[in-house]
């Protein structure tokens, strides 16, 4: 599995905290799109798809949630609960976000613009392509 935690630059002093990410630095790709998910109702999930080419860095900028990843051979869950740690999800990995705490915000930094043709939204199709 290629998904992995990425430490982000955390700067803190008596004035508070700040986390910094820079493309081709903490973010290991050129940034083309950024979005965030919030107000996710209790018990609901986000994601549940894979990408053919897109790379994503997910960050819990507030609260916590779990990212479930499946590369076609192995499944693993990752908890994001600190704003100075990201999770890099690579192409060909099915992922979903679950167990959002109240008020959680999931920031998603993407390597490309939105392209519906890059998505695999059917899990059976994903398994045919990546499950071996």
109/22: higher pLDDT = 109
Give the residue-averaged pLDDT of 55-65.
97
Q: What's the pTM value of the predicted model, to 2 decimals?
A: 0.92
Give the residue-averaged pLDDT of 79-91.
97
pLDDT-derived band at 24 (thresholds 50, 70, 90) equals confident
Of 49, 51, 62, 113, catalytic: 49
Q: Is 51 a catalytic residue?
A: no
d(CA 67, CA 107): 13
Q: What percent of the chain has pLDDT over 70?
A: 99
If you ran DSSP here, which 8-state letter would residue 95 be given?
E
pLDDT-derived band at 35 (thresholds 50, 70, 90) equals very high
What H or E segment, with its residue span, contains residue 14? none
Measured at the CA of 118, the angle between CA 58 and CA 112, to 5 degrees, comes to 50
Q: List the structure tokens of 49.
A: 């798809």
Residue 3 has pLDDT above 80, yes or no: yes
Residue 132 has pLDDT above 80, yes or no: no
Residue 118 has pLDDT above 80, yes or no: yes
Contacts of 91 (CB under 8 A, 6+ apart): 50, 51, 52, 53, 54, 55
Give the residue-averaged pLDDT of 102-119.
97
């Amino acid at each position: 599995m290629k998904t992995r935690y990425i430490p982000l630059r955390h700067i803190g002093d008596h004035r508070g905290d700040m986390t910094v990410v820079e493309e081709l630095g903490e973010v290991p790709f050129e940034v083309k799109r950024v979005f965030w998910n919030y107000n996710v109702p209790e018990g609901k999930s986000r994601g549940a798809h894979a990408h053919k080419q897109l790379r994503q860095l997910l960050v819990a900028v507030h609260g916590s949630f779990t990212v479930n990843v499946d590369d076609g051979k192995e499944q693993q869950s990752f908890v994001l609960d600190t704003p100075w740690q990201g999770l890099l999800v690579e192409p060909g990995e099915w992922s979903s976000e679950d167990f959002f705490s109240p008020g959680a915000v999931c920031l998603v930094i993407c390597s490309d613009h939105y392209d519906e043709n890059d998505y695999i939204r059917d899990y059976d199709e994903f398994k045919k392509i990546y499950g071996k």
